[in-house]
Amino acid sequence: MKRWPLQHAKAKLSEVVAATSDGPQAITVRGRRVAVVLSRADFERLKRNGSFVEFMQRSPLVGVDLVITR
């Protein structure tokens, strides 16, 4: 994933957006990733998967009694 410092991303937003064809683009502040720009298709694919709770509720293991010990 390519990284864009915030100042560069602000100045070259059209390039950041165009680069999403190569995959998600990370925006950094002081070297730390703080945001990700991704294509609309990637966003829709992620959104379609629902929340983590919905994912777990669709699991084939729903209703199985698991014994978990620490």
Q: Quick check: is 68 in a domain? A: no
Q: Quick check: is 49 in a domain? A: yes
Identify the CATH number of the domain in which residue 44 sits.
Answer: 3.40.1620.10
pLDDT over 90 at 29, yes or no: yes
How many domains are contained in the chain? 1
Strand ranges across the sheet with 25-29: 2-5, 25-29, 32-37
Q: Quick check: is 14 in a domain? A: yes
Q: In whole numbers, what is the pLDDT of the chain averaged over residues?
A: 87
Q: For residue range 38-70, list pLDDT tens digits in order.
A: 999 988 888 887 788 888 888 888 888 888 888
Q: Quick check: is 39 in a domain? A: yes
Place of tokens 């294509």: 39
